[in-house]
Structure 1
Amino acid sequence: MPVIAFFEGDLVADPDLSVSPEGSPVCEVVVRPMPRSERQRAQRERASEPPTYHVTAVDDDAYALASLPEGARVVIIGQVKAVSWVDEAGARHRRDTVVVDSLGQSIHAGALVA
């Protein structure tokens, strides 16, 4: 059974758009989630490094995500996938990545103007 992530957050840097070996567009970015309660906000302020999610989008979602600048607030729904790799020094690494199923710009960031 897949693990589903649903969160709102800010892009930490400009998205990185590339092309997969199969020829599909792929966009990767890091998102800092917004705290959903005062308790989470206080925990985040005490943390030396705030939590982040690594996010990957493909096909049309890749183009949509790549069009957003650093600091844009987004809403992401996606499946959590484990990604592993070995670096040049031979060290093994692993992290969870959220693969986008649905993506939107948050209305809390002033995206809509009355």
Structure 2
Amino acid sequence: MYALKESTVCTIAPGRVILKPSCIDHIHPLVRAGMALGRRLMYLLPAATRAWLSVPSLKMGPGDSARSHTANEYILVNEINEGINIYINLLKSMMYCLIHNPDIGETK
């Protein structure tokens, strides 16, 4: 931060650290359903929106993560179509899981 302060004429101060870790167990039905669809696990720092949650959460989206939130971010049409199919199949898998194991959806 010292080099940054030396390069500016404005006041720079760290913001409040309010982000907390967000996680989901690797045996959670949603994770297992995603893995069954060929998705892979990636461990990331907390995303701003997930960091506000007090429930298990995960990040999943279509496209190449290397292009996410970059200056020239883009997504291919076939990646969008693949993402739609993955979301549909993930929801079908979760519906099956909740119908056949209704206690999984309960919160305590």
TM-score range, shorter chain: under 0.3
- Structure with the higher strand share, 1 or 2: 1
- TM, length-normalised to structure 1: 0.25
TM-score by length of 2: 0.26
Q: Which has the higher contact order (CA 8 A, sep 6+)?
A: 1
Larger Rg: 2
